[in-house]
Amino acid sequence: MVNENMTALVVDDDPDLIGVAKLALNSAGIKDVSLAADGLEAKRLVEAADRPFSVVICDWVMPGLDGPGFLSFFRQDNVRSPFIMLSGKSTDTEFSAISRNPNDYFLTKQSSLDEIIALIQKVIKT
């Protein structure tokens, strides 16, 4: 199922992980995917967007503005869009300490492509 009206934002400083996230989003039917290498670039994309992103996938550790900082910025104006934080080092417990929104989700970077796709499908309800 193609979600033609849905848009996604992937924020990560690792090009390989950006590719995996984009593949997962495409597999879930989301073809309109914007990419940012860090939270500052992502912030600019959010501010310039003509409508809210339908879903965000974001790395925790990045130069400039990190994932938790970007999540805080993102949630100021967007409480509904699902936000998936990926981390290779942080834990779900650490994420729970910074997340106050039921639309926030956490996955480790060790998650399989199938696990990422399944979560995307769950949060966009396809």
Domains of the chain: 7-124 (3.40.50.2300)
As a whole number, mean pLDDT of residues 103-124 equals: 92
Closest listed residue to residue 101, CA positions, set 81, 121, 120, 116: 81
The two three-digit tokens of residue 91, written as one number: 């834990």
Look at residue 126 and tell me whether its pLDDT is greater than 60.
no
More confident residue, 36 or 4: 36
Strands 55-59 and 83-87: parallel
For the chain, what is the radius of gyration of the CA atoms?
13
- Residue 75's H or E segment, with its range, is helix 67-77
What's residue 23's pLDDT? 94
What's residue 117's pLDDT? 92
How confident is the model over 48-105, as pLDDT tens digits? Answer: 999 999 999 999 999 999 999 999 999 999 999 999 999 887 677 788 778 889 999 9
- Among 4-8, 34-38, 42-46, name the one with the lowest average pLDDT: 4-8
Look at residue 1 and tell me whether its pLDDT is greater than 70.
no
What's residue 2's pLDDT? 53
CA dihedral of residues 126, 111, 10, 91 (deg, nearest 10): 110
